[in-house]
């Protein structure tokens, strides 16, 4: 049975913010462009920042690194906090939405939730009220599920798929076809319980990239993003967004 496919989400803060605000996250925190990883450019990001989303090219170098890393960490048995929210990716081209869910799910203690748009009114700007918004509801329903069960639940969730579909049509570039092979991939980085984690739904588990704190998270996450770029120095198709205080 072939897996479902969504239209890819564009790496565009305006598009992503409209998506998360429409699903119930209040705009006290927003996604922002990261224009570079040196200290001066990182200083331009509003503070504090609680998550980074990296869009990068998937090629043979990435696949080999992913395979080697998976084998190594299965032997080393890395520490992963039980409080990390992680979900697998079953849906083709859904990495943008899964990255957003990872960023938000692991920062619910600082984010605000409330009024959201209904999927039908998503592009029209008509507000409809729910208690906490649909994102909060989705995360509450999937809180105690395994990473695999969360992925299965997302496959059947029409509200998020409708909102994703609307957002994917909102980008500055023409949206690819639903079943088109896209060689770009979103992942998220978050701080949880004193460590920085890479969350990629196509990997076997979260990747612990070492100690961090809420104060040093942005600098620490930037170093990990830099390591992705250094593995593929001839490639220019990297973009980063930060989830930070508005």
- Do residues 111 and 245 lie in contact, with contact meaning Cβ atoms separated by under 8 Å? no
Query: Which residues, listed in sequence order, are joined to residue 53 by a DSSP beta bridge?
Result: 188, 241
Encode 203-227 in three state secondary structure. CCCCEEEEECCCCCHHHHHHHHHHH
Active site residue 32: no
Active site residue 225: no
Query: Which residues, listed in sequence order, are joined to residue 188 by a DSSP beta bridge?
Result: 53, 199
- Which residue among the candidates 32, 102, 164, 185 is catalytic per the annotation? 185
Contacts with 10 (C-beta within 8 Å, 6 or more apart), sequence order: 96, 168, 170, 171, 172, 173, 175
The two three-digit tokens of residue 245, written as one number:
């205080």
How much helix, strand and coil, in percent to the nearest 5, is found in the chain? 35, 20, 45
Dihedral, 30, 235, 220, 19 alpha carbons, nearest 10: 20
- Dist CA 23 CA 45 (whole Å): 24
- Which residue among the candidates 32, 50, 95, 225 is catalytic per the annotation? 95
Main-chain phi, psi angles of 235, to 5 degrees: -100, 135
Q: Which of 109, 217, 123 has the alpha carbon at shortest distance from 162?
A: 123
The residues carrying an active-site annotation are 95, 185
């Amino acid at each position: 049975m072939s897996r479902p496919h969504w239209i890819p989400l564009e790496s565009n803060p305006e598009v992503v913010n409209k998506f998360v605000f429409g699903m119930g996250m209040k705009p006290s925190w927003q996604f922002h462009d990261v224009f570079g990883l040196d200290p001066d450019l990182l200083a331009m990001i509003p503070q504090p920042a609680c998550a980074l989303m990296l869009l990068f090219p998937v090629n043979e170098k990435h696949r080999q690194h992913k395979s080697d890393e998976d084998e190594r960490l299965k032997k080393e048995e890395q520490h992963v906090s039980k409080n990390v929210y992680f979900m697998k990716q079953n849906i083709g081209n859904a990495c943008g939405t899964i990255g957003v869910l990872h960023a938000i799910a692991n920062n619910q203690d600082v984010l605000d939730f409330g009024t959201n748009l209904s999927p039908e009114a998503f592009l029209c700007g008509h507000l409809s009220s729910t208690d906490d918004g649909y994102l909060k509801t989705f995360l509450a329903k999937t809180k105690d599920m395994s990473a695999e069960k969360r992925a299965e639940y997302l496959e059947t969730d029409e509200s998020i798929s409708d909102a994703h579909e609307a957002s994917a049509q909102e980008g500055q570039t023409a949206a690819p076809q639903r079943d088109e092979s896209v060689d770009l991939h979103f992942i998220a980085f978050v701080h949880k319980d004193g460590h920085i984690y890479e969350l990629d739904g196509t990997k076997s588990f979260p990747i612990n990239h070492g100690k961090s704190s809420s104060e040093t998270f942005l600098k620490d996450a930037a170093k990990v993003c830099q390591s992705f770029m250094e593995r593929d120095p001839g490639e220019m198709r990297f973009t980063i967004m930060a989830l930070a205080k508005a």
